[in-house]
Every structure is written in structure tokens, then in C-alpha cells.
């Protein structure tokens, strides 16, 4: 949104769907949570707050409902005004509740498409997905996902059946639990999280997030009719490479957890193959590709897939990132609350899951079992401490389970469609400068050292 307003200030209106109870609360959220961000500093200096208030129209609603939860009195105006729809709504939690993830990532995509079909002047629908819906090994092509086709070749994937399974599971839980409402909800939450992971892995996807995003893509392709549809599939999005605010980002990603924990001095080991490629792409390049796709595909009756990725055009290995991290903190040491320098040692990297689990068993699991016995002998004197350490151990093992498919990623995302789009854009030198999304220009060592690592420390302080 910031990029559109900055490079095309003559745009008539941007309607922004916001989860809020009414239009006043929607405006408040946009004011404080969107245009109040540092990202909009350049735009404010050039055009002022009034410009953004005139161009941005917050609409209270939610993609999980039909008509996107928009008040009926506003719908008629919107379906006559809107010509481009961009759907980036998603819950990106790998271990989200299955029912919540289906509502947002799967049915949300369906509701957006149904709304798009009502728009009389619609030129296109652009849907933001994730590259990992398409696989984790080999050369992964920019191809639409076919309804019901799984990653591991298993059959009987049916979205309606998945929705019914969720409702049946919740009903069974409600009938079987006689405790308080709070206990029932807690049990339901845990059960829904576990069900999501179980169903995803049954069909070959690594987690609930990518599975439900894949289901959303299937619905879009199956139901689009003659709606021009572009699906953008980014890989791991990192901080801004160039503009408008070098290193800016929001929302912690896979490698950012690593940076944060290392900066605090509490990361002693990690699970990754340093020789493998980590597919990352700066956020502004994803945005540039989205805008270019909107321009190129408006009014064209087709479904087109674009991978915004780097693993084919300009691959970078996890080992390169790690060396940049060590160099950065060696040359920019962290200072603790006491004023002394925090000593940061090298991280012990395990290159197989089995080796890491063996280490965790010897270092943590077995001592925890011994601690449990001692605590029982002492009548629970250390129960609080034991429970906390046990919780931390389970949390780490859950993280490893969720992130291993990415730290051991052995795929390459083909981006021939995106390359063809870039060949058109680069014919105009001004467009090529304004909307660059070719990862070949990135010097990864300089980017990690000078942009991404300091950006994570500055913009994700929590």
C-alpha cells in the first residue's frame, strides 16, 4: 500500500479491509497500526497525513465471512468502485488451530473470490500465497495446484470433508468434557492445533499454515471462472533491500528467531545443514513483483503463478548467513544492562535431526527425568522450576519439529514466469529502477551484514 501511494499518488482510492467492530475502530487501527509505522515516514514527508486519509478508506470486516463481513449498506458502493483486489490476509502461524487456519487461509480465499465476482469493473484478483504450498524437494514449478491433488500422492483430500472433520472433532470434545468452559476451550485449542499438523502431514505438507494456504489456492483455481487470477508465492520474506526504509520489516521469520536468540546470548545450538540453500527474498522485491503482475495481467482471463524466490537465480547457503552473523556481532558487540560486553560464542550446529535429538536427550531430557524424581522425593518443593524447564524443553522440540523442513530445505523454486515478467519490466529503465524484483543483483553477504541483521535488531526489538 505504501509503495502504490508513493509511486502512483494519482490512484483514486485504496479500500483496506480491517478486522474491527465498526468503521471508527477500523480507522483507529489503520491510524496507529498501519500509517503510524516508520515505513510511512517518506510518504508523510512528501504528501502529509491528509493525503493518506483521503486515499486510504478503511472498511470494517473479516475474510472469514461471506461478503467479507462488510456491512450491507457499503457493499453496493464497493462492488461498483473496486477494479483490483489484493488478498494478503492470512494466519501465518505454523502451529495454528486447524479451524482458525481453515477459516482464514482456505475459506477466506473463497470469500474473497466470491466478492471479486460481484465487482462489476473487476480487472483482476491477486492472491498472496507461499511458495512452500508447492513442495519442499527438487525443482518446484510455478504450476497451479489441482483440487484434491496432494504433495505425497495420497488420495481422498476433500476440503468439505476436512471442514466436517473439524466440526465433528469439536462436538465430540464438548460432549466428552465435563469440566469448566475454560478447560473445555483449552482442550479444544490444543486438539485443533494437533489436528492441523496431523492432517497436513497426512497429505505431505509440513505444517497447518502451508496446508491451508494450499487448500485456498485449490479453491481459487477451481472456482475462479473467468476472473483474471494471479497467485504470488513468496519464499521466506526478509527485510527491505532498498526502499523506502532500509532493513525495515514487521513480523519475525525463520532466520530472525535465530538472530534474536543469538543476540541475547542464549542460543547454544541449532539444527541446520550449512551446505543447503535457504530461499529468502527481500520484502520490497515481493511488493515490486506484485505491482508489476497487477499491471501486466489486468483484464486477462487466466490463472498465473509467480514464485518470488532466490534459490534458482541467486542461491545463498545457510553457512553464508551464519558467517555474516558472527562477523556482525564481532564487529558490533552487544552491551548488557551492567554495561559490560555480552560474550557471544559460536553456535553448535547439528546437521541431522537424529544428532540434535540425541544431544537434547543427554543435555536436557535425562536431567529433567532425574529432576522429576528428586522433586517427588522432596514433596514437590521444586515443582514450579521443574514445570518451567519441562515446558521450555517441549517448546524447543516443537520448534525443531516445525522448522526442520525449512532448515533442511532441499528444493529449488523455479521462477521462469517471474523472469519473463522481469524481461518486460526491464525494457523501461525507469520501471526497472522503480520496480526491481530480480534477486540476481543482491550481494547476500553485504545484505545480511549491512541491512537485514541490523534491521531485525532495530525494527523487531521485542
Identified catalytic residue from 3, 55, 110, 213 = 213
Could you tell me if 240 and 283 are in contact, meaning their C-beta atoms sit under 8 angstroms apart? yes
Three-class DSSP category at 227: coil
- How many CB atoms sit inside 10 A of residue 330's CB? 9
User: Is 395 a residue of the active site?
Assistant: no
Helices and strands (H and E) in the chain: how many: 20, 12
Q: How many CA atoms are closer than 13 Å to the CA of 403, on its beta-carbon side?
A: 19
| E strand segments, 235-322 | 236-238, 269-271, 280-282, 303-308
Q: Which residue among the candidates 98, 209, 262, 270 is catalytic per the annotation?
A: 209
Distance CA 220, CA 115 (A): 12
Q: Which three cell numbers stand for residue 227?
A: 476472473
- Residues 6 or more apart whose CB falls under 8 angstroms from that of 168 comprise none
Cβ pair 144, 303 in contact under 8 A? yes
Concerning whether 213 is annotated as a catalytic residue, the answer is: yes
Residues with Cβ within 8 Å of residue 2, at least 6 apart in sequence: 39, 40, 43, 244
φ, ψ at 121 (rounded to 5°):
-110, 20
Which positions are annotated as active-site residues? 209, 213
Amino acid at each position: 500500500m505504501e509503495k502504490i501511494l508513493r509511486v502512483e499518488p494519482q490512484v483514486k482510492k485504496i479500500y483496506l479491509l480491517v478486522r474491527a467492530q465498526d468503521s471508527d475502530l477500523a480507522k483507529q487501527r489503520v491510524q496507529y497500526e498501519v500509517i503510524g509505522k516508520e515505513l510511512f515516514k517518506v510518504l508523510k514527508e512528501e504528501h502529509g497525513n491528509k493525503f493518506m486519509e483521503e486515499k486510504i478508506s478503511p472498511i470494517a470486516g473479516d475474510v472469514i465471512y461471506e461478503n467479507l463481513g462488510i456491512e450491507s449498506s457499503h457493499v453496493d458502493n464497493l462492488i461498483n468502485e473496486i477494479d483490483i483486489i489484493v488478498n494478503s490476509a492470512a494466519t501465518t502461524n505454523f502451529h495454528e488451530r486447524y479451524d482458525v487456519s481453515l477459516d482464514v487461509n482456505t475459506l477466506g480465499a473463497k470469500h474473497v473470490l466470491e466478492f471479486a465476482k460481484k465487482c462489476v469493473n473487476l480487472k483482476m484478483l491477486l492472491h498472496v500465497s507461499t511458495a512452500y504450498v508447492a513442495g519442499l524437494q527438487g525443482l518446484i514449478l510455478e504450476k497451479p495446484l489441482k483440487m484434491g491433488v496432494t504433495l505425497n500422492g495420497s488420495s481422498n483430500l476433500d476440503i468439505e470433508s476436512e471442514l466436517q472433520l473439524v466440526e465433528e472433532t469439536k462436538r465430540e470434545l464438548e460432549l466428552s468434557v465435563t469440566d469448566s468452559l475454560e478447560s473445555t476451550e483449552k482442550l479444544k485449542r490444543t486438539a485443533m492445533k494437533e489436528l492441523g499438523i496431523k492432517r497436513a502431514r497426512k497429505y505431505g505438507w509440513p505444517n497447518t499454515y502451508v496446508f491451508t494456504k494450499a487448500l485456498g489456492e485449490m479453491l481459487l483455481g477451481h472456482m475462479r471462472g473467468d476472473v483474471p487470477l494471479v497467485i504470488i508465492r513468496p519464499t521466506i520474506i526478509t527485510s527491505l533491500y532498498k526502499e523506502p526504509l532500509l532493513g525495515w520489516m514487521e513480523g519475525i521469520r525463520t532466520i530472525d528467531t535465530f538472530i534474536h536468540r543469538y543476540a541475547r546470548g542464549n542460543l547454544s545450538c541449532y539444527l541446520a545443514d550449512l551446505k543447503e540453500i535457504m530461499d529468502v527474498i527481500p520484502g520490497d522485491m515481493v511488493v515490486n513483483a506484485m505491482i508489476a503482475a497487477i499491471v501486466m495481467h489486468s483484464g486477462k482471463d487466466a490463472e498465473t503463478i509467480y514464485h518470488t524466490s532466490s534459490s534458482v537465480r541467486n542461491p545463498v547457503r545457510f553457512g553464508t548467513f551464519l558467517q555474516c552473523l558472527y562477523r556482525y556481532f564481532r564487529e558490533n558487540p552487544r552491551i548488557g544492562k551492567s554495561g559490560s560486553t555480552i560474550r557471544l560464542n559460536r553456535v553448535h550446529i547439528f546437521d541431522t535431526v537424529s544428532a540434535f535429538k540425541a544431544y537434547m536427550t543427554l543435555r536436557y531430557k535425562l536431567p529433567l527425568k532425574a529432576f522429576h524424581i528428586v522433586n517427588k522425593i522432596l514433596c514437590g518443593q521444586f515443582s514450579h522450576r521443574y514445570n518451567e524447564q519441562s515446558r521450555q524443553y517441549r517448546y524447543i522440540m516443537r520448534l525443531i519439529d516445525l522448522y526442520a523442513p525449512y532448515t533442511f530445505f532441499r528444493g529449488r523454486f523455479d521462477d521462469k514466469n517471474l523472469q519473463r515478467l522481469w524481461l518486460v519490466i526491464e525494457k523501461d529503465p525507469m520501471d526497472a529502477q522503480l520496480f526491481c524484483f530480480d534477486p540476481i543483483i543482491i550481494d547476500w553477504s553485504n545484505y545480511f551484514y549491512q541491512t537485514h541483521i541490523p534491521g531485525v535488531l532495530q525494527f523487531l526489538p521485542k
